Amino acid sequence: MKITSVRSYPVMTWRPHLFVIIETDEGIHGVGEAGLTWQEMSVHAAINRLSSLIIGQDPMRTQHLWQLMFRSGFFPADSVGCAAISAIDIALWDIKGKALNQPVYNLLGGLVREKIACYPHNQVSENEDDLDNLLESCKKTWDAGWKFVRWGMPIIDPAAVNGAKSVRESIKQISAIRETLGDEVEICIDVHTRLETPDAIRFCREIEELRPFFIEDALRSESPEAYRYLRKHVNVPIAAGEQWSTKWGFRSAIEEELIDYVRMDLCLVGGISEAMTIARWAETHYINIAPHNPLGPISTAAAAHVCFATSNLGVLEMAKEPGTVLTDIFPTQTLFDSGHVIPSNEPGLGITLDENVLAKYPLPTDGFAPQLTKADGSISNW
């Protein structure tokens, strides 16, 4: 079996996406997804460039092709290159599963669990008076069977980050959710890399008694080593990694046990091949995985297969419940029930893509991440 074509589709739906379809000479195709948001057109170009390397190659040689793509430019692949490799790698695993008539999780070691607990994106407006909306959203998902709730740290001031105010308001929110839903609900808070280190320390210390499941991205992501200092001063579980590319990005965080949950993004970190390497490595340090999954149905399917075959799972992010979005493009999606992914026996990733519908969607609009500042006008992370 040989790869005959690689097609990538940057499209705009409720958010920008980049999907990939790889064809073979035996009529088997695979689908993948890239995850570098707001840089879809750059990744699209990278995929087109990498296609010349892999057309004519055996799609079953996933590790060989991963190394070929990563090392073909002499300079190691950056985040754009890694996102391109991720989409291609996921599609190759889909082909492997279909060729062998097995779900991908069986090729990764087989099921280690019967279902995957997921956390939702609870709806909360980023204003000071949003507590009622947040309580309603969390209660709705809890009543629907989800065991987790999750929301982002409030920004408070329009278009401006104020760390001290955000910390105070977030503590109020967490306290209210704990009091309303009780001790059994698991609470995840996404700081989204917005806090300075002193505010992050203050926040983590003050919510320790509220028992969060984890605090996500408490610091900026450029230097994983920054978590050394945070780790010395706080006693709440820390999750990080959604912006780190390949296993090397996780090296210090795992080896020095700076985090409790590895948040690798399969559509950025290097696909299924690299995610499994990171997951096994994390297991040797008793660190669980909690894959980042804010994208489309292919991202969800790929992350689910890794979670089904990985023993050290904490929780899987589920921004959009499968079967509720993009059903015209993806008529068959990951099986889901009451806050949990259920395994499918379908070969490959177990999802289908209608390319004719996909081609009707517009290209992603030009743009960047939302621009936030601090109170003094200096740039902050979104």
Domain boundary among 56, 77, 102: 102
Predicted confidence at residue 365, as pLDDT, reads 80
pLDDT class for 375, splitting at 50, 70, 90?
confident
Give CA–CA dist 357/355, Å, rounded. Answer: 5
As a whole number, mean pLDDT of residues 263-285 equals: 98
Of 61, 54, 13, 53, the residue nearest 37 (C-alpha): 13
pLDDT class for 46, splitting at 50, 70, 90?
very high
CB neighbours (10 Å) of residue 215? 27
pLDDT digits (tens, 9 = 90+) for 148-193: 999 999 887 777 788 899 999 999 999 999 999 999 999 999 999 9
CB-side neighbour CA atoms (13 Å) of 54: 32
Higher model confidence: residue 95 or residue 163?
95
Are residues 118 and 51 located together in one domain of the fold?
A: no
- The answer to which of 145-159, 235-249, 336-350 has the lowest mean pLDDT is 145-159
Are residues 75 and 140 located together in one domain of the fold?
A: no
As a whole number, mean pLDDT of residues 81-89 equals: 98
Q: Does the model's pTM come out above 0.95?
A: yes
Q: Is the pLDDT of residue 139 over 70?
A: yes
Residue of 44, 121, 292, 305 marked catalytic: 292
Q: CATH code at 80?
A: 3.30.390.10
Give CA–CA dist 321/339, Å, rounded. Answer: 8
pLDDT digits (tens, 9 = 90+) for 303-331: 999 999 999 999 999 999 999 999 999 99
Are residues 266 and 254 located together in one domain of the fold?
A: yes
Report helix, strand or coil for 142.
Answer: helix
Q: What's the mean per-residue pLDDT of the chain?
A: 95
Q: Is 22 left (phi over 0), alpha (psi -120 to 50) or beta?
A: beta
Burial status of residue 280 (CB atoms within 10 A of its CB: 0-12, 13-18, 19 or more)? middle
pLDDT digits (tens, 9 = 90+) for 222-236: 999 999 999 999 999
Are residues 111 and 256 located together in one domain of the fold?
A: yes
Predicted confidence at residue 124, as pLDDT, reads 75
Give CA–CA dist 6/164, Å, rounded. Answer: 49
In a domain, 300, yes or no: yes
Residue of 192, 233, 305, 340 marked catalytic: 192
Are residues 330 and 235 located together in one domain of the fold?
A: yes
Are residues 91 and 111 located together in one domain of the fold?
A: no
Predicted confidence at residue 113, as pLDDT, reads 98
Domain boundary among 82, 102, 122: 102
In a domain, 201, yes or no: yes
In a domain, 274, yes or no: yes
CA distances from 28 to 25, 91, 226 (A): 7, 11, 45
Are residues 254 and 121 located together in one domain of the fold?
A: yes
> H helices then E strands: how many in the chain?
12, 17
DSSP string, 219-287: S-SS-GGGHHHHHHH--S-EEE-TT--TGGGGHHHHHTT--SEE---TTTTTHHHHHHHHHHHHHTTT-
Predicted confidence at residue 150, as pLDDT, reads 98
Give CA–CA dist 244/18, Å, rounded. Answer: 19
* Catalytic residue flag (residue 29): no
Are residues 185 and 69 located together in one domain of the fold?
A: no
Are residues 55 and 111 located together in one domain of the fold?
A: no
Higher model confidence: residue 374 or residue 82?
82
In a domain, 295, yes or no: yes
In a domain, 211, yes or no: yes
Are residues 95 and 127 located together in one domain of the fold?
A: no
Are residues 123 and 154 located together in one domain of the fold?
A: yes
Predicted confidence at residue 127, as pLDDT, reads 53
In a domain, 64, yes or no: yes
The domain containing residue 182 runs over which residues? 106-348
Q: CATH code at 123?
A: 3.20.20.120
In a domain, 357, yes or no: no
Task: Report whether 360 contacts 118 (CB < 8 A).
Answer: no
In a domain, 227, yes or no: yes
Q: Is the pLDDT of residue 371 over 90?
A: no
The one-letter code for the residue type at 61 is R
Are residues 118 and 264 located together in one domain of the fold?
A: yes
* Catalytic residue flag (residue 292): yes
Q: Is the pLDDT of residue 243 over 60?
A: yes
Residue 139 tokens, joined: 């209660």
Number of domains in the chain: 2
Task: Report whether 116 contacts 314 (CB < 8 A).
Answer: no
Domain boundary among 83, 102, 121: 102
Q: Give percent of the chain with pLDDT exceeding 70.
A: 99
